[in-house]
Amino acid sequence: MNFLSNCLKGIAIGSGAILPGISSGVFCVIFGIYEKLLDSVLNFFSDFKNNFKFLFPIILGTGIGIFLLGNVLNYCLYQFPIQTKSIFIGLIVGSLPALRKQVLKRSTSTNFGWLFFFLAFCFGIICAILENILQVSDVENVNFLYLVISGFLMSIRHYCARC
């Protein structure tokens, strides 16, 4: 049962890997396997048997998710863009309590957790508004301000991931 459960989690992680703006790491946090996954990868050879038993179904599921769901998600994004994006926005908003719980577990002050939760929520709303204002649908005529903001946000995400 554990193999099947981890394989299904891997399929969801693989679907997150192919979607723009959705991180596989978010799915790992939602499923509660993020820290164990990192520990298994970093200490792979120290406990090879257990780490392999944990990682193999996740990697297998990730491959299945990428190959099977790639075309399905591509079709849905082109045929039903609003509905598909709404589903994934719902997944992200639904993951906020899990992320908040992780922050509160590591933080010494609960005020910091609420502040992080509020700022992340506001940040998501601002990004959604900016996407409509800057009109980035034309690939050949991308707004320079959009590229600058995107680069800035990616650098912040990379910096925050290291903290």
What is the per-residue pLDDT for 112?
62
Task: Answer whether residue 107 shows pLDDT above 70.
Answer: no
Could you give the number of structural domains in the chain? 1
Task: Answer whether residue 154 shows pLDDT above 50.
Answer: yes
**DSSP H helical ranges for the chain:** 2-18, 24-31, 34-42, 48-79, 81-106, 110-134, 144-162
Range of the domain at 1: 1-81
Residue 144 forms part of a structural domain: no
What is the per-residue pLDDT for 161?
47
Task: Answer whether residue 5 shows pLDDT above 80.
Answer: yes
Q: Tell me if 100 sits within 8 A of 29, measured CB to CB.
A: no
Mean pLDDT confidence for 135-159 = 59
The set of residues, in sequence order, having a beta carbon less than 8 Å from that of 7 and lying 6+ positions away, is 57, 58, 60, 61, 64
Residue 92 forms part of a structural domain: no
